[in-house]
Amino acid sequence: MVAQRGFSRVDAVAVFSGALRDKIHKLKYDGAHGWEIIFGRLIVGGMESHPEQMKGVDHVVGNPTHASRQPIQHIEVIMDAAYTEDVTRHFPLGAPGAHRLVKKAETSRSANQSLDGKCVAAAADAAALTWTGDTGDIKGATVLLVDDVFTSGSQLQHGALRLRASGAADVRGLVLARVPWGA
């Protein structure tokens, strides 16, 4: 089952509703700076509160957005903030601006798509991902793939499959928020 899904487990910090949903949208679609600091702290808090999930993790990377994404590359600024918030350097987060996983081409967005549309967009998104570190860094590695919102799981599933095809032994997921079932 793990080989088919690509990832072994996905944890969410919170439910995607109310004020959190609104603030994620403010950062993601309006470029409202300041929220990335809070979201970075939530990511670090999620990792701190689940030490069993962090055991053996070699790399913590964001599911990237393309450099042309407007108004902001939201995952990148959240991951940069998470690095800053990890003051003890307890987690294998890349330094600000040194993202190990990058999206080399713009792809269509999956927001407001049907489940089939989300899967198609996620497959295209994963095909555009490139590991920027040494290829030996990912061979046999355990990677924690971070994203903002888990709706259908397509983005994380396809991203994890891409990382596994690149040599990662295990891919785990952590999201800021998970959409409630049936929403």
Does 22 or 2 have the greater pLDDT score?
Answer: 22
Separation of alpha carbons 63 and 142, rounded Å: 15
Residue 65 belongs to some domain of the structure: yes
Is there a domain that residue 183 lies in?
Answer: no
CB-neighbour burial class of residue 89 (10 A; exposed 0-12, middle 13-18, buried 19+): exposed
Tell me, what's the pLDDT at 129?
A: 94
**Measured distance CA(173)–CA(181) in Å, rounded:** 18
Check which CATH number belongs to the domain holding 122 and give it.
3.40.50
Average pLDDT over residues 71-100: 93
Q: How many domains does the chain have?
A: 1
Is residue 98 one of the residues assigned to a domain?
yes
Predicted confidence at residue 109, as pLDDT, reads: 79
- How would residue 183 be classed by pLDDT, with cut points 50, 70 and 90? low
- Asked if residue 171 is part of any domain, the answer here is yes
- pLDDT above 90 for 114: no
pLDDT level of residue 5 (50, 70, 90 thresholds): low
Domain span at residue 168? Answer: 2-178
Q: Does residue 15 sit in helix, strand or coil? A: strand
User: Residue 166 has which token pair?
Assistant: 């690149």
Place of tokens 């989300």: 118
pTM, two decimal places: 0.91
In whole numbers, what is the pLDDT of the chain averaged over residues? 90
User: What pLDDT does 1 receive?
Assistant: 25
Is residue 51 in some structural domain?
yes
pLDDT tens-digit series, residues 52-81: 999 999 999 999 998 888 888 999 999 999
Enter the tokens of residue 146: 């971070």
Give me the pLDDT at residue 43, please. 97
Query: Sign of the CA dihedral 161, 48, 19, 31?
Result: negative
